[in-house]
Structure 1
Amino acid sequence: MGAQWKAKHRAVAADAKGKLFTKLVKEILIAARNGADPDMNPRLRLAITAAKKQSMPRDTLERAIKKGSGQLDGQVNYEKVVYEGFAPHQVPVIVECLTDNVNRTITAIRMLFRKGQLGSSGSVSWDFDHVGLIEATADSAESDIEVAAIEAGAQDFEAGEDGDALFITDTTDLDLVQKALPEFGYTVESAKIGYRPKNPVTLTGEALEEVEAFLAAIDENDDVHEVYVGLAG
């Protein structure tokens, strides 16, 4: 049983890694449309950083950049589509998808929202701030999150456990802030433009479990790129 469980665990881990690579490659393909030079393309630079942190093979990374920038034949045109609605218990959700087939994606999203409520554009986005989100880790116990936020130019910050931190920026300042943070004792783990809930809902017990199961099912879909939820904690 032990060996069988380990084999199953490895298969699950490999599947999760594969799904993550798929999402990262899609982001690189879209970012590279604006140029293959990361020094001149902030979105591509962030996508490459994210891919390297997940140990994406170099040839996979380089092929995605070349394909996205049109240097290779067979370019796939991914489109970004955003869906809004509610998870169970009226928890607001924004789902960002990168897809090469919008009809397939909306059909899947409608199915996934059966236990919630799929809304129209703008139905919940008013309850979120569109911001830059930078996840970082303190380099030492002396790293001061407030000083780092002020000096690097972040709008706000949230301190987590074990030196984890979330820095919130204006969308136009994301690249500048993530470049500056290492100077003030923080290693950037990820940086992206996303959504931050204004009035997160607090749930416990079975209600929380129901919402988490709903969100997990959405995140499993291959076309889903990011999920933002107005849930506290």
Structure 2
Amino acid sequence: MGAQWKTKIKETTAAAKGRIFTKLAKEIMVAARGGPDPNQNSKLRMAVEQAKKASMPKDNIERAIKKGAGLLDEQVSYEKLTYEGFAPHRVPVIVECLTDNANRTASNIRMLFRKGQLGASGSVSWDFDYVGMIEATPESPGADPEVAAIEAGARDLEPAENGATLFLTEPSDLDAVARALPAHGFVVQSAQLGYRPKNPVTLGAAERAEVEAFLEAIDADDDVQNVYPGLAD
């Protein structure tokens, strides 16, 4: 979610998996500031669940929790930064970063936006909704996503890939809906907060390829956590 624009390339290399684990570890560390117990910290619980689904080793998860909660001598503090602007062909894009060096990140983002246009805060966020997004699959063929959405408290839903359903929630309801869905016949595959474009841009094949290359270059930066483009599927 938030990365449907990516080309369908399986990230199987050790370097690609390492980048994924690094991003997941950052999410866990930031969430663990609110306490090291996932049962008492909903943000941490969701971050840990995402890491487990990505097959992140248990030792890595536990170390990230301890680092974030300040239980180790090794202290790392990450700051969340959000950038807004346009990809080529005036496609709006929001970039979320977690960094331990804001100056480095700002410099990198400026360089990465050379083929687009970096904007000020609020320049494109007005064209996005900030929502909870839960991707879930039916536990049995008879599970009804519309009934599940109503009963669990989701505000909307839409079909996702491979028979899954994307349940949309208010940001404050994300954890409650994710915990309620299993009782209504759905297995949660992922749950996160993110930006959904209100007016996604449709492009031709050549233009889309150019935009995807731009987005992938941004996504590959070590400080970038999430990239949300206003690009139609």
- TM normalised by structure 2 equals 0.93
Decide which moves more: 139-148 or 36-45: 139-148
Equivalent position of 2:92 in the other structure: 92
Alignment of 1:1-233 (within 5 A): 13-233=13-233
Contact 2:79 2:100 (C-alpha < 8 Å) held by counterparts: yes
Which has the larger Rg?
A: 1
Partner secondary structure for residue 103 of structure 1: helix
User: What per-residue deviation string (whole Å, max 9, x for no partner) do you get for residues 114-157 of structure 1?
Assistant: 11100000000000011111112222322211111111100111
Contact 2:127 2:197 (C-alpha < 8 Å) held by counterparts: yes
Once the two structures are TM-superposed, the CA of residue 160 in structure 1 deviates from its matched residue by 2.2
Q: Which runs of 5+ in 2 are unaligned?
A: 1-8
Residue identity in the other structure for 1:23:
K
Q: How far, CA to CA, are the matches of 2:149 and 2:211 in structure 1?
A: 32
Aligned residue-pair number: 225
- Structure 1 segments (4+ residues) deviating >4 Å: 9-12
Partner secondary structure for residue 162 of structure 2: coil
Residue identity in the other structure for 2:73:
D
**Structure with the larger RCO, 1 or 2 (CA within 8 Å, 6+ apart):** 2
Residue identity in the other structure for 2:29:
L
Q: How far, CA to CA, are the matches of 2:27 and 2:201 in structure 1?
A: 30
User: What per-residue deviation string (whole Å, max 9, x for no partner) do you get for residues 173-195 of structure 1?
Assistant: 00000001111121111111111
Once the two structures are TM-superposed, the CA of residue 80 in structure 1 deviates from its matched residue by 0.3
Q: How far, CA to CA, are the matches of 1:168 and 1:53 in structure 2?
A: 20
Contact 1:141 1:163 (C-alpha < 8 Å) held by counterparts: no
Partner secondary structure for residue 26 of structure 1: helix
Contact 1:202 1:232 (C-alpha < 8 Å) held by counterparts: yes
Equivalent position of 1:3 in the other structure: none
Q: How far, CA to CA, are the matches of 1:154 and 1:221 in structure 2?
A: 33
Q: How far, CA to CA, are the matches of 2:51 and 2:231 in structure 1?
A: 27
Once the two structures are TM-superposed, the CA of residue 87 in structure 1 deviates from its matched residue by 0.5
Q: How far, CA to CA, are the matches of 2:179 and 2:112 in structure 1?
A: 38
Contact 1:136 1:186 (C-alpha < 8 Å) held by counterparts: yes
Q: How far, CA to CA, are the matches of 1:81 and 1:162 in structure 2?
A: 33
Partner secondary structure for residue 162 of structure 1: helix
Partner secondary structure for residue 158 of structure 1: strand
User: What per-residue deviation string (whole Å, max 9, x for no partner) do you get for residues 201-233 of structure 1?
Assistant: 111210111111111111111100011111111
Q: How far, CA to CA, are the matches of 1:230 and 1:68 in structure 2?
A: 32
Contact 1:95 1:224 (C-alpha < 8 Å) held by counterparts: yes
Partner secondary structure for residue 178 of structure 1: helix
Q: How far, CA to CA, are the matches of 1:194 and 1:102 in structure 2?
A: 21
Residue identity in the other structure for 2:132:
G
Could you say if the C-alpha distance between residues 109 and 16 of structure 1 is closer, same or farther in structure 2, counting changes exceeding 3 Å? Answer: same
Once the two structures are TM-superposed, the CA of residue 104 in structure 1 deviates from its matched residue by 0.6
* Structure with higher helix content: 1
